[in-house]
Structure 1
Amino acid sequence: MALTSKITPYDARWPSLFDAEKVRVQRVFAPQVDVEHVGSTAVPGLAAKPEIDLLVVSDHQDEDRVDQEMASLGYERGKNLSVGHMFYRRDVGGIRTHKVHVCRPGHWQVFRMLRFRDMLREDGKLRHKYQRLKLELEARNESGIKEYLADKAPFIDAVVGPPPEA
C-alpha cells in the first residue's frame, strides 16, 4: 500500500507554499495564534513527502466553528491525535497537499515537533540519517502511512525523547 505521497527531493518552493497556507489558516484561529512550519518540508535539504505540515498553537474554544471554517478551506477533520491535539488534512485532486496539527499552548507535542525540526535543520548528519531511514521505510512499506509513521517513531523518540504517554 502506498504512502499518502511519494518522498521527493527537497523543493525550494515549500517555504513559500507554507507562507501562503499560513495566511489562510491563521484567519480561522485569529486573533491569538502561532503557526509554525513543521515536518520534513520545513527542513532545507531534506527529502520529504510534498505535504506541507502546519502547527497551529491556539487556545481555540469553538471546535464546531473551527471544523466548519477549516472545511471551507478544503480541510477534512481527522481524529484527535491526543487530548488537545486536533488534526486536519487537505487533498487536492486526490493528492495530499497539507496537514494541520492544532495544539493547545503548552501541549507536549508542540515542543517535540519544533525541537525535532530545529535539530534536523542544525545537524546535517542527523538530517542525512533521518532521510536515509525515511527512504528505506518507504521502499519496504506494505501497509501504508500508519506503518510508516510507527516505524519512524523510534528514531524520533531517540532524538527528542519519548512522548509522555509512552
Structure 2
Amino acid sequence: MLTSKITAFDPAWSKKFEKERNLISDAFGDRLVAIYHVGSTAVPGLAAKPEIDMLVEVSNLHRTPEADRFMRSCGHIRGNDLSPEHHYYRKDVAGVRTHKVHVCPIGHLELSRMLYFRDLLRQDVDLREQYQRLKLKLEAENTAGMSEYLAGKSPFIDAVLSAKPDTGE
C-alpha cells in the first residue's frame, strides 16, 4: 500500500466524505448514531494526505460480522482494532489509501478526542499552522513509513488534548 503525499487543502474532500458516508451508512443499521468527517481533510485550510477520515458512532458494536461484510462490499477492509471497542476499516484504490473509518460506541474516549482535536484545528489558525508545519516536517524526514509519521504526530496531538478544559462531561 502506498501512502499519499501531503497536499494543499482540497474543498472536494468534503464531497468525498459525503459520498462515502452515504455508501457505508447502511452497514450499521439501527445502531448508527452519526458519521463524522474527522482528521486533517475535515479542517479547511489544512494541508493533508488526501485520505478521508471518518468516525462512525454506534449505539453498540454488536452484529460486527454483518457490518464487516457490508463494509467489504463497499471496498473497506477491516483492520486491527485500534483499542478496545475501536474498530478500524481502510479503503485502498489502486494500492493507495483513500479512506479510513473508525467505529466506536457512544461514550468511547476516541469520539471526544477526534472531534475535539478537529474542532480546535478548525477554530485556531495558529494551532492549525503549527500542526501543518509538523506534518510537513515529519513527511520530509520520514524514512520508516507510516508508523514513523504517526508516532511523530502523537506527542503534539496528546499535548493539545491534555490541555482540554474539563467541562464536567
Shorter-chain TM-score: which interval? over 0.9
1:1-150 aligned at under 5 Å gives the runs 4-33=3-32, 34-58=34-58, 59-150=60-151
The answer to whether the 8 A contact 2:61-2:104 is kept is: no
The answer to whether the 8 A contact 1:3-1:144 is kept is: no
Unaligned runs of 5+ in 2: 164-169
CA distance in 1, matches of 2:73, 2:20: 13
Unaligned runs of 5+ in 1: none
CA distance in 1, matches of 2:124, 2:155: 18
Could you say what the CA RMSD is over the residues aligned between the two structures, in angstroms?
1.4
How many residues get paired?
161
Residue type matched to 1:36 in 2?
Answer: Y
Residue 66 of structure 1 deviates from its aligned partner by 1.1
The answer to whether the 8 A contact 1:3-1:145 is kept is: no
Q: What is the DSSP-based 3-state SS (H/G/I as helix, E as strand, rest coil) of the residue aligned with 1:89?
A: strand
The answer to whether the 8 A contact 1:134-1:152 is kept is: yes
CA distance in 1, matches of 2:90, 2:41: 15
The answer to whether the 8 A contact 2:138-2:149 is kept is: yes
Q: What is the DSSP-based 3-state SS (H/G/I as helix, E as strand, rest coil) of the residue aligned with 1:30?
A: helix
TM score, norm. by length of structure 2:
0.92
TM score, norm. by length of structure 1:
0.94
The answer to whether the 8 A contact 2:68-2:78 is kept is: yes
Q: What is the DSSP-based 3-state SS (H/G/I as helix, E as strand, rest coil) of the residue aligned with 1:112?
A: helix
Q: Which has the higher contact order (CA 8 A, sep 6+)?
A: 1
